[in-house]
Every structure is written in C-alpha cells, then in structure tokens.
C-alpha cells in the first residue's frame, strides 16, 4: 500500500493465527462442526417421525439449540480458516437415518439416541476443554467459553432424554452402546479427514 493508505480488507471475521496451535485448533473446530452438523441431522430425522407427537416440542427445543451451535461453528470455521471434514455428505445421511431410525422405535427410542449421543459429545467436549486448558487457557479463552457452554447444553439434552424415559427403550443398553461406538468412530474420522 502507498504511504498513508488504509487497507480496506475486513479482518473482523478472521482470528489472528499468531501463537495458536493451528493443527490442534483445526482439529477441534473441524470435529465440533461435524458433530453439530450431525446432531442437527439427527434431530431433523427425529422431527420427521415424531414432530407431531407429544415429544415433538421437546425435540424441537433441543434442535433449536443445536442449530445455534452449528451456526457458531460455521462462524468459527471462517474465522479460523478451517476446512470442513470431507465426510459431511455422509454425516448428512447417517445423522438423519439415525434420528429417524431411533424415532421409529418411539419416543423412548429417540430419547435413548439423544442420551447416547449427548453423553458422548459432552465427554468429547470435556476432553477438548482439558486440552485447551493444558495448552493455554488465556489464549483460547473464547473457544473455551463456547465449548463449555455447548457442553452444558449437551448435558441438558442428555438429562432431558433421561427424564423422558430413554432407559425404557427396547434394548436400551445395546442401543446406547452401539450409538456411542458410532459417535466415537465419527469423532475419530472427522478430526482427521
């Protein structure tokens, strides 16, 4: 730029990359974006089946929070210049199928799915919180606040599922274990691919 000229490039949507552990942040934001995307698709599937039932408003309330989470991670993807996982098209279909499939088991099946997913995600968020604190809690203060808030929301969803008879779903233990295994595989893959 010539002397005295002002750059018109907007920087408000980007985060200064100096001093941050870029590979770690990329991994965290990529997997969390994928997770919130998948959660949105799960709730979309549940609403497609149970939206007009007595549990529809409860599912919608949780879905609305997940929509806010996804919106925030979409913003963070841009701010930190993180590419999304290439598996998003797969998570699109898999999430919807999981949501609709669990809802076809009825309210208890949908809530069992919610408990399984949200427990896994809140554990995953706790792990990320520990990592960021070990790295530098002050440097990653904003991201820590976001992840802590979302973790708390996920725990709330988990508790809502339990309050709405998740544990009374057919083969609850097996269903929960299978869904959690799938979530852990999705986390592992989305961090890396």
DSSP one-letter string for 96-139? HHHHHHHHHT-HHHHHHHHHHHHHHHHHHHHHHHHHHHHH-TTT
Would you state the pLDDT for residue 133? Answer: 97
The whole-chain average pLDDT of the chain stands at 93
pTM of the model: 0.89
pLDDT of 49 > 90? The answer is yes
Tokens of 11: 């920087």
For the CA atoms of 104, 106, 108, 109, the dihedral, rounded to the nearest 10 degrees, stands at -10
CATH code that applies to domain 22-191: 1.20.1260
- The full set of domain ranges for the chain reads 22-191
Q: Which whole number is the average pLDDT over 29-47?
A: 98
Residue 82: name the closest of 161, 17, 171, 174 by CA.
17
- Could you tell me which residue, 111 or 5, shows the higher pLDDT? 111
Would you state the pLDDT for residue 22? Answer: 95
Indicate the pLDDT class of residue 11, thresholds 50, 70 and 90. very low
pLDDT of 10 > 70? The answer is no
Would you state the pLDDT for residue 18? Answer: 72
Write the pLDDT tens digit of every residue in 163-179: 999 999 999 999 999 99
Write the pLDDT tens digit of every residue in 76-126: 999 999 999 999 999 999 999 999 999 999 999 999 999 999 999 999 999
Indicate the pLDDT class of residue 17, thresholds 50, 70 and 90. low
Residue 53: name the closest of 105, 95, 89 by CA.
105
pLDDT of 161 > 60? The answer is yes
């Amino acid at each position: 730029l010539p002397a005295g000229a002002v750059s018109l490039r907007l920087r408000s949507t980007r985060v200064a990359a100096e001093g941050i552990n870029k590979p770690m942040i990329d991994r965290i934001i990529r997997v969390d974006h994928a997770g919130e995307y998948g959660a949105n698709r799960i709730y979309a599937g549940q609403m497609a089946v149970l939206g007009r039932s007595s549990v529809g408003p409860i599912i919608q309330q949780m879905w609305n929070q997940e929509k806010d989470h996804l919106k925030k991670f979409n913003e963070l993807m841009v701010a930190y210049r993180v590419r999304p996982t290439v598996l998003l098209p797969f998570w699109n279909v898999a999430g919807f199928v999981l949501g609709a499939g669990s809802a076809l088991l009825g309210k208890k099946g949908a809530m069992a799915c919610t408990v399984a997913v949200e427990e896994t995600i809140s554990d995953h968020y706790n792990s990320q919180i520990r990592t960021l604190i070990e790295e530098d809690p002050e440097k990653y203060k904003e991201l820590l606040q976001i992840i802590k808030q979302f973790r708390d929301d996920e725990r709330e969803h988990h508790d809502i599922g339990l309050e709405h008879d998740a544990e009374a779903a057919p083969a609850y233990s097996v269903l929960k274990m299978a869904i959690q295994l799938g979530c852990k595989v999705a986390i592992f893959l989305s961090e890396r691919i």
